[in-house]
Structure 1
Amino acid sequence: MDLTTPALLFPAISLLLLAYTNRFLTLAQIVRQLAADRTSPQLVARQIPGLKRRIGLIKYMQTFGVVSFLLCALSMLAIYAAYGPLGNALFGLSIIALAVSLLLSLWEVVISTQALSVVVEDIERRRPEA
């Protein structure tokens, strides 16, 4: 493996971290809106457990993404310094950290989808019968 192999992951990991940050900012906005919502306390109460799980998952998604980025950079450094086996091992760990981050992201998407279902149910419940 040469130096360009781990370098290929740099743009992908950077974009992934940007996407995770956007998800966090969106979630923060949702939490603030729910905190200000005084009209549907039952809906807010149903959302809280999922929001807590999503906040924790996003924290770990970002952590594993950053670890993956760091390991990738260290892999490049090791390869540059002619420590090929160490570079290969660090690159492998980087890929594993990236995979964990992506799996956590998938889990967060599932929880997010469930939260949308709760909102849709509330809308249907409040909708006047036609």
Structure 2
Amino acid sequence: MEELTLTTPALLFSAISLIMLAYTNRFLAYAAVIRDLSERYREKREDSLIRQIKNLKLRLQLTRWMQIFGIASLLLCVLTMFLIYIDQHIVAVWIFGVALMLLILSLAFLIWEIQISSKALNHHLGDIEEQLKN
């Protein structure tokens, strides 16, 4: 079995940082869309807007969990590096394993959120196609 070195958890830093940037961009986009939907709903209370708001609420919750798991993974990578530094290699290996599992969970939530986003966009395309037929 190969020994875990400081460079192994350090390699995840750039990957997790980029993932967190993408998650933050998603979050900001949702915030803008939610503000817009809120305004539109105040003006005109349509059922389609309520469905969109519910969809966005779920997507926002998923994004929150994606961020939480990603940040926890990054924190555990830092802890792993500290444990390696103080010669606690066995504990470091286990903590790094948990960090990897949290990153996997974060990415799984991303896949789930992408599926929901795709369905929502397909509904919008269906609405447009229906209007074009009429």
TM-score by length of 2: 0.89
Q: Which residue of 2 aligns with 1:122?
A: 127
What is the CA distance between 1:39 and its match in structure 2?
5.8
- Percent sequence identity over matched residues? 43
Unaligned runs of 5+ in 2: none
Determine if contact 1:47/1:118 at 8 Å carries over to the other structure.
Answer: no
Q: Which residue of 2 aligns with 1:100?
A: 105
2:33 equivalent to 1:30: yes
What is the aligned length? 129
Determine if contact 2:37/2:53 at 8 Å carries over to the other structure.
Answer: no
Q: Runs (4+) of structure 1 moved beyond 6 Å?
A: none
Q: Which residue of 2 aligns with 1:110?
A: 115
Unaligned runs of 5+ in 1: none
What is the CA distance between 1:125 and its match in structure 2?
2.9
Determine if contact 2:10/2:77 at 8 Å carries over to the other structure.
Answer: yes
Q: State the superposition RMSD in angstroms.
A: 1.5
What is the CA distance between 1:128 and its match in structure 2?
5.5
TM-score by length of 1: 0.92
Which structure 2 residues correspond to residues 1-130 of structure 1 after superposition, within 5 A? 1-37=4-40, 38=43, 41-127=46-132, 129=134
Query: 2 CA distance for matches of 1:128 and 1:109?
Result: 29
